[in-house]
Structure 1
């Protein structure tokens, strides 16, 4: 079943980004398998990224994102700040990255905005 707006599916496909749309109970999530993490920053080189889409999306912003497997900062061997809580989705315990979004522009922003937020959060995590 597809629930992403067609322009968002087309965007991901045009960029060659592999994605899965998954429904778990009342929650809808987009999973990006084999997402490359910043070089030498984490204890793994890639992870799955989960973006849970809230009711009302895309007018309502996704709030956080989640990784599987759980990752630690390579230089400190600890979880990044605000990334140490579990979130269950589709029978899997995901690492919750608490990164709130107060700048979402309804009608303009979409999955492309969330991907940039994920990339930025992974780059600057400490």
Structure 2
């Protein structure tokens, strides 16, 4: 037995059970996923190929699946090629005098070492390192905010946090970064369907996202 969404469910023996059998026993609906509730409000997603030790007090929840916020997972080759192409395009045109730092292996992130801040920031700093983290399903979904070095401390516009919201990647917060909120509403991001590698230029892309960054950093709205 295990407790799934408050109900006791019979789980096949032995106590060490494949994730696929737990899902089958729970009659999970499409676009939902199962998580094991652990101590201190932590959760572990149940995967089909995983092996899990269950007892009568194991609590399992059935929650909505999500695509946004998946970071640092296995990225498709197409996603990698699109990200590489976009970063190279920005590097040769927008940041051509800078030595961009880029994750060339999995294409999870890239850093502009000296991003020029707008005038309303100049009492704090004229430039700063800026980090972009790409969702695993990029370009279908955009980055969720961006990151500036934590020693910048404050923003004249607000929106600058020690925590990451909207399921943004939290890993950079452990490495001296703070998160700046630029959240694209559902269905507002419209990348072009890619048949050839340059098709990304016809829809929303990294250039679009840097336009949003410029706009939000210059904004006087809080």
Superposition TM-score tier, normalisation by shorter sequence: 0.7 to 0.9
SS at match of 1:51: strand
Contact 1:32/1:50 (CA < 8 Å) preserved in 2?
A: yes
Structure with the greater alpha carbon radius of gyration: 2
Provide the C-alpha distance between the structure 2 equivalents of 1:71 and 1:12, rounded to a whole number of angstroms. 27
* Residue pairs, 1:1-126, within 5 angstroms: 3=80, 5=82, 6-17=84-95, 18=98, 19-22=100-103, 28-42=108-122, 43-68=124-149, 69-73=151-155, 80-86=157-163, 87-89=170-172, 92-102=175-185, 103-107=188-192, 108-125=203-220, 126=222
Instruction: Say which SS state the counterpart of residue 141 (structure 2) adopts.
Output: coil
Whether the 8 Å contact between 1:88 and 1:94 is mirrored in structure 2 is no
**Number of equivalenced pairs:** 117
Q: Indicate if the aligned counterparts of 2:162 and 2:173 stay in contact, CA closer than 8 A.
A: no
> What is the RMSD computed on CA atoms of the aligned residues?
2.6
CA distance in 1, matches of 2:159, 2:180: 6
> Greater relative contact order: 1 or 2 (C-alpha under 8 angstroms, separation 6 or more)?
1
Question: Where does the alignment leave 5 or more consecutive residues of structure 1 unmatched?
Answer: 75-79
Partner deviation per Cα, 1:40-71 (whole Å, 9 max, x = no partner): 42411100111110011111111111101424
- Runs of 5+ in structure 2 lacking a partner? 1-79, 164-169, 193-202
Moved more, 46-55 or 27-36: 27-36
Structure with more helix by fraction: 2
Question: Higher strand proportion, which one?
Answer: 1
